[in-house]
Structure 1
């Protein structure tokens, strides 16, 4: 049986997950850049 959230609660939960996803994507971008720097240093 599902839990019924109010519309506002659902929107708040969705927004929270959107922020978490955005933070994870930013972290991935940061790690990709860091990896590229390390890779460039190793290939010198």
Structure 2
């Protein structure tokens, strides 16, 4: 029984890590896109 819960914890941690890395990648890509579009347009924020 303890082994099962341990595996569950590891699985949850792995999923969380993957989710966090995906979020970081998405945010960085979005920031890059916004930056490039801001540079292309004459409007300054």
Q: TM-score higher than 0.5 here?
A: yes
**TM-score of the pair, normalised by structure 1:** 0.76
For structure 2, the residue ranges without an aligned partner over 5 or more in a row are: none
**TM-score of the pair, normalised by structure 2:** 0.75
Runs of 4+ in 1 over 4 A off after TM superposition: none
Q: Which has the higher contact order (CA 8 A, sep 6+)?
A: 2
For structure 1, the residue ranges without an aligned partner over 5 or more in a row are: none
RMSD: 1.5
**Structure (1 or 2) with the greater helix fraction:** 2
